[in-house]
Homo-oligomer: A and B are copies of this chain.
Amino acid sequence: MRFIDKLLNMSRQNSSLLCIGLDPDPELMPGRDVVQFNRAIIEATGDLVCAYKPNLAFYEALGSAGLSILEETVKHIPGDVPVIADAKRGDIANTAKAYARALFSVFGFDAATVSPYLGHDSIEPFVGYRDKGVFILCRTSNRGARDFQDLRTDGQPLYEIVARKAGEWDVHGNIGLVVGATYPEELKKVRSMCPEMCLLIPGIGTQGGDLASAVRYGVDARGERAIFNVSRQILYASKGEDFAGVARETADRIRRQINSHLTR
């Protein structure tokens, strides 16, 4: 099944545009077993999300055992829930092939995030997996996003040029874009340029982006094809033994808040 279909199915089934970022930070979950922690979060929230998104940095920081922990985590996610590898990979053709194989064939993710800096041949090997989703970093949610993404060529900022190129490269209909909720005007612009594209939108939780404008500007004309990611605000809503239950309550509250801003 194509990524977009898997995503829309789950999004409709759970009435949810919420994605939970499975980003285990040992400092915020002292003494807990990461696989058990993730499993508890997944079991508590599986009917409230449209996708899960582990960021590989947090698994690599666990050392050589980290990728096994990631693999174990993915096994606990029900097969009909899309899993996005937040990897932000980008390398030259031969090496990009190895990354794509790692994320899609070996680890079995449904989608991955990639960086555009190296251009088309760094992204093509990912796009070649037609059933997988490929989210190209466009306008990121962080402060430093301005350093290069706003640089203008013939009046057009780099992130818009990336969005336009992504559209040209999207020959199989499996490319999406990452656009942070922390920059609502830029999000609005990207959505207007790419009305049909799936957008992965971080930045509405701890990062503090405005939810109402992120939803209004981020979704497509049917109120879909937008994935709002929240990680820390849900995972660490409680540091006590009730963490999974409180994560569920928090996730459901955010899911409903997102839906309340939809005007379908």
Contacts and interface: CB of A to CB of B under 8 A. Distances in A.
B161 A151 contact: yes
Mostly helix, strand, loop or mixed at chain A's interface?
Answer: helix
Contact of A148 (B107, B143, B152, B162): B162
Number of copies of this kind of chain in the complex: 2
B117 A137 contact: yes
Contacts of A153: 151-153
Given A64-B70, A115-B115, A95 B55 contact: yes
A210 interface: no
Contact of A107 (B63, B71, B92, B165): B63
A57 B91 contact: yes
A118 interface: yes
A23 B95 contact: yes
A165 B151 contact: no
Interface in A56-79: 57-58, 60-64, 66-68, 70-71
Residue with the highest number of chain B CB atoms closer than 10 Å, among A64, A101, A117, A158: A117
A145 B119 contact: yes
A196 interface: no
Contacts of A202: 92
Contacts of A158: 148, 151, 158
Nearest to A66: B67
Residue with the highest number of chain B CB atoms closer than 10 Å, among A89, A102, A140, A144: A144
A3 B93 CA distance: 29
Contact of A68 (B58, B61, B64, B161): B64
A5 to B, nearest CB: 27
Interface in A119-165: 119-123, 137, 140-149, 151-153, 158, 161-162, 165
Closest 8 CB pairs of A and B: A119-B144, A119-B147, A60-B102, A57-B98, A92-B142, A121-B144, A64-B67, A64-B68
